[in-house]
Structure 1
Amino acid sequence: MTAIDDASVGVGASGAGRVPFPMRDRLHVPRERYFDRGFHDLEKRKLWSRTWQMACRLEEIPEPHDFVEYQICGQSVLLVRQPDRSVKALHNACRHRATQLEKGAGRLAGGQIVCPFHGWRWNADGTNSFVYGAWGFAPECLRPEDLRLRECKVELWGGCVWINLDPDAGPLREALHPVADLLDSIAIGNWQVKWWKEVVLHANWKLAQEAFMEGYHVPQTHPQLAGGLSVDEFPVDLNRYDIYEGGHSGFGRKLTGERYTSVDMLVLAGQLLSDGQDAMTLERDLTVFEPLRNKLGPDEDVGTAAADALRDHAKGAGIPWPDGLEDSPLFFGGEVFVFPNLFFLPMYNNCLSYRIRPYGDDPEWCRFEVWSLTTYPETEQRPRAQKLGRFDKDDSQYWGLIPMQDFSNIERQQAGLHTVGFEETRLATEWENAIGNMHVELDRRLTRD
């Protein structure tokens, strides 16, 4: 897998006449891209209607006839688990008079999708099974193929269901190259939901997710994670940042486990993550690390000992542990961004995941979902994954300190975009290259016919 440099990806010049507020280079983002109505409408037509997007996790629909609704920019799609364990993605509109058939999540009673208006019914695969008063319709209105619920493209990968509203879309794996290989190497398919919740933010979806494309903000936004160092003292080059074709990107620790000089430091860092968000590092991991205080010799490497202890615990508990997991550059933390709007922040055998998308039809609001994922023993029966709810960004009962710190900055950024005299953002070539890479890919998508 090879990262790309700025020279290998063209910057939106070819579409400059067709995209409002185009990217003139990778270092400057016009402010209007985050609030302009015309830009938002263009995204609806040429991005969200044509891109592969994660619609749900497989744990949301574990059994045949389980369903969940996915919404994006006014479109509603039902993801329905089939009796053979496959998944269908069905456009959520009755073929009679367009009534939405199902909402939210649930289980199809009797394996049937039922219209709440006139009682028409469909099987789980979208074939029509009943038309009330069929004798009153002309035969041309009841052709079976016309009554079948329309489908959109669907593929399964990484423990998730992916959809594309474009019937001519290419394969998912092709669209996710090369980050799919990177995530496969750390067993993305083994992760399952520990918890899942959502916040609605007064910010454009792109602005909200850009906060997580760099670690540059850590010492100022999350001082508790800076190890007592001030912004002036904190090393800015802890991470290696990579950008890839297709708008994807990622970063990982340069020093991996070597950054832990003592078990105390390892435990403290883990405790901050556990307390601050209950993700990436969990209480289970801290329990494994604690005995190292008395076992580790003065010359032993803390990172290596931590990885060995986690691997031994996993194998003893029946938790899947792929060969070489501890050798991944993402094992001790990092991030993978999957264009257009999905993040994975793995650590050990866990992961924090974000999905950010437009909210309603307003370019200045977004839905921000957060998952804590981990790897459970293979014999453990997990309940169906359900969102805990939508909670206010300042609700400390449901959000830890770390996400609350991030949320506060995001809305202040959106407000700042409207300040008279501010024209565009200015990005660092070293720490913020993923943001420019995402916008260049977005321009490429928006110029397609």
Structure 2
Amino acid sequence: MMDATTTMNGGDPTRLRGDPMSGERYWSREFADREWQCMWKKVWHIAGRENEVPETGDYLVHDFLHESVIVARQPDGSLRAFFNSCRHRGHRLTSQSSSIEAFTCPYHGWVFGIDGELRNVPDADNFPQGDPCGKLSLRETRCATWGGFVWYAMSDEAPSFEDFMGPVLHQYDSFPLESLVRVFQIKIDLNTNWKFAPENFSESYHTRTAHPQVPAFCDQDYWNARLEMFPEGHGRTIQPFRPSLRDSPEGSEPHVFDDVLRHWEIDPAHYRSFEEKVVEGWRDLAEAKRRLGPGRGSKHYARLSDSELTESIHSTIFPNVALTFGPDEVFLQRTEPHPHDPEKCTFDLWAMVFPVEGQTMTATAMVGTERLPIREAEPIRRSFDGGRGVHEMHGGVVIQDLMLAEGQQRGIRSQAYEDAYLAGQETRVRFFNEVLNDYLEGRR
């Protein structure tokens, strides 16, 4: 567990300076340029998953704004990251992840090894400076791995990966994250600023309005949630996987939670009231999952705490990554800014599951009702188009968030908008913006 002195109450606005969340930060080209110069080059980015680059010569390509980075598997098994720019005249060497013995520039045929070293150039004797082979190599930058994810930083001004991640580095050691299988991955073009998602995922105040189905299976009432924020800019919301008691059904009306209990061989009729069933039944679930889970193929259940077995743990990693942890699956959600228009971004959703012995198909509430094969999914690219462009996600929770994004962007451009009027449970929304301000103003 993290030292209490580094954990701040994410529901306590007295921990904030009170920086205003002015509208231009969501649409100004000048503000977006400052984000690039002062923040994006000083944080760590996810290039992909380690299981995408298992063999020597396998590589990932991650494009971000006008930059592009290659992360390649080396003969010694390590990963190295290079800027995707030929040292001759800057042409990009490759456009998509693949496997290769050497990178050949499509413009003039310069050849770089998987280690970034320049191996061959046409007419090597025609350079007044001398043969560039042995002198030049691709510009390298730092990379790291955590949780089966491949990360990189674009500048020496970024902190070490360990310092950047802070407490997140060891908060999820019980989960076998390297074993996750990404059963769904989509990149969606959205007409909104990239900050919509980090702010949205920093609060649950919107849940009852935007996600009316959620309180039946996840108690997101703020008085039952643990809200945390950390000096590095990261945060967590931890909520019980049980119904909200605000919605107690009349009499003996069946509830979806009954099916959850029965699945784990707990009789819902054992409890004298709905409240007892929710509170005591939820506690009983931890014991039942630990006792029955490994025998049902979920071997990793033996490693998880009661909280990890029965709570939704939603972690935001500054500035633009959200990871939601459950005992059976992990979701990644990420926005990245458009290269030219601050009122556009891309939104990534990865649904990842822990393999279960004997199980070949899975369902995930984040995607919809369709069952998916448990294997690495091919990437999908879609335009949101008012929800019409992402039919795969209809019926899921995420599309409900995305349906709000463009209306939020349009409304925040109004001359009537001056600053957000936040509830206490939205403290992390302003905290996110204050950490961003710290980067822009040179305090980080």
TM range (shorter): 0.7 to 0.9
Counterpart residue number, 2:156: 167
Counterpart residue number, 1:201: 190
Alignment check: 8 A CA contact 2:183 2:376 kept? no
Unaligned 5+ runs, structure 1: 12-24, 229-233, 269-285
Matches within 5 A, 1:125-164: 125-140=115-130, 142=132, 144-145=134-135, 147-164=136-153
| Partners of 1:365 and 1:187 in 2: CA distance | 35
Task: Tell me which of 98, 112, 115 is aligned to 2:105.
Answer: 115
Superposed CA RMSD in Å reads: 3.2
Offset, 1:355:
1.3
1:210 aligns with 2:205: no
1:49 aligns with 2:41: yes
Amino acid across the alignment from 1:316: G
Counterpart residue number, 2:235: 249
**How many pairs are equivalent?**
408
Matches within 5 A, 1:25-424: 25=18, 28-108=20-100, 111-140=101-130, 142=132, 144-145=134-135, 147-227=136-216, 235-253=221-239, 255=240, 264-266=255-257, 291-292=263-264, 298=270, 301-312=280-291, 314-316=293-295, 319-321=298-300, 323-328=302-307, 331-377=310-356, 386-392=378-384, 393-395=387-389, 397-401=391-395, 402-424=397-419
Matches within 5 A, 1:11-30: 11=17, 25=18, 28-30=20-22
Amino acid across the alignment from 1:422: Y
Counterpart residue number, 1:274: none
Offset, 1:324:
4.8
Offset, 1:175:
1.0
Counterpart residue number, 1:4: 8
Alignment check: 8 A CA contact 1:252 1:330 kept? no
Alignment check: 8 A CA contact 1:330 1:346 kept? no
Counterpart residue number, 1:22: none
Offset, 1:130:
1.4
Task: Tell me which of 423, 427, 437 is aligned to 1:433.
Answer: 427
Inter-CA distance 86–297: structure 2 relative to 1 (3 Å threshold): farther
| Partners of 1:384 and 1:190 in 2: CA distance | 11
Offset, 1:76:
0.5
Alignment check: 8 A CA contact 2:182 2:375 kept? no
| Partners of 1:443 and 1:97 in 2: CA distance | 36
| Partners of 2:244 and 2:305 in 1: CA distance | 15
| Partners of 1:131 and 1:201 in 2: CA distance | 42
Inter-CA distance 314–82: structure 2 relative to 1 (3 Å threshold): farther
Secondary structure, aligned partner of 1:53: strand
Higher alpha-carbon deviation: 176-185 or 44-53: 176-185
| Partners of 2:128 and 2:332 in 1: CA distance | 50
| Partners of 1:128 and 1:314 in 2: CA distance | 52
Offset, 1:53:
1.8
Offset, 1:131:
1.2
| Partners of 2:132 and 2:109 in 1: CA distance | 15
Counterpart residue number, 2:367: none
Offset, 1:106:
1.4
Offset, 1:259:
6.1
Alignment check: 8 A CA contact 1:82 1:88 kept? yes
Offset, 1:375:
0.9
Alignment check: 8 A CA contact 1:186 1:328 kept? no
Inter-CA distance 120–8: structure 2 relative to 1 (3 Å threshold): farther
| Partners of 1:226 and 1:101 in 2: CA distance | 49
| Partners of 1:378 and 1:117 in 2: CA distance | 49
Alignment check: 8 A CA contact 1:59 1:384 kept? no
> Could you tell me the percent identity over the aligned residues?
26
Counterpart residue number, 1:277: none
| Partners of 2:110 and 2:265 in 1: CA distance | 65
Amino acid across the alignment from 1:213: S
Amino acid across the alignment from 1:96: H
Higher alpha-carbon deviation: 81-90 or 147-156: 81-90
| Partners of 1:391 and 1:63 in 2: CA distance | 33
Alignment check: 8 A CA contact 2:293 2:301 kept? no
Offset, 1:251:
0.7
Inter-CA distance 207–134: structure 2 relative to 1 (3 Å threshold): same
Higher alpha-carbon deviation: 326-335 or 96-105: 326-335
Inter-CA distance 376–127: structure 2 relative to 1 (3 Å threshold): same
Amino acid across the alignment from 2:117: T
Amino acid across the alignment from 1:206: K
Secondary structure, aligned partner of 2:115: coil
Inter-CA distance 123–31: structure 2 relative to 1 (3 Å threshold): same
Inter-CA distance 410–196: structure 2 relative to 1 (3 Å threshold): same
Amino acid across the alignment from 2:399: M
Unaligned 5+ runs, structure 2: 272-276, 361-373
Q: TM-score, normalised by structure 1?
A: 0.81
Alignment check: 8 A CA contact 1:257 1:304 kept? no
- Note the alpha carbon deviations across 1:325-363, whole angstroms, 9 max, x for none: 142367421311011111111122311211111022211
- Note the alpha carbon deviations across 1:15-70, whole angstroms, 9 max, x for none: xxxxxxxxxx15x4111111111110000101111111222221332332122211
Amino acid across the alignment from 1:252: I
Offset, 1:303:
2.8
Amino acid across the alignment from 1:362: D
